[in-house]
Amino acid sequence: MADRIGSLRRLRGRGIAQRAYELQPVRSRAARIATWTLAGIGCVACVVAGGAAVRGYDMRIAATHASCMTPTAPASRDDAQDALTRAQLALKQEAASRATVQKSADALAVEVSRLKAQVLFLQGQSHSRR
């Protein structure tokens, strides 16, 4: 009985090995064409949407630049003189503030150097006592 099963297995094995196999598509040709068509349409839609977004962005930037480039001139000579006076006053205030800050920084630098000298002296005193 065992001999009979072994011979059947050998016969089946030869038949399987000698057959020619070829791959069969899982989906039909129409389904594959439809899939590629939909993918192509999706790509085209993405390109069109991207182009529209870039165009809108460019138009918005151009409008912003155009509004920035138009000079806003004062209404009269008196307004221009007032604006100039205000700008000069602001400049003088800024210069005074900077001078005050610089004077304070110089005083603090002198104080820091004095304190460093004291610390060095005290460190020298503590080392000499030991």
Residue 9 predicted with pLDDT over 70: no
pTM: 0.36
What percent helix, strand, coil does the chain show, rounded to 5?
85, 0, 15
At residue 108, the pLDDT reads 96
Q: Buried b / exposed e across 20-34, counting CB within 10 Å, b at 16+? A: eeeeeeeeeeeeeee
pLDDT tens, 39-83? 999 999 999 999 999 999 999 888 888 777 666 655 688 888 999
Q: Specify the DSSP class assigned to residue 32.
A: H
pLDDT tens, 83-97? 999 999 999 999 999
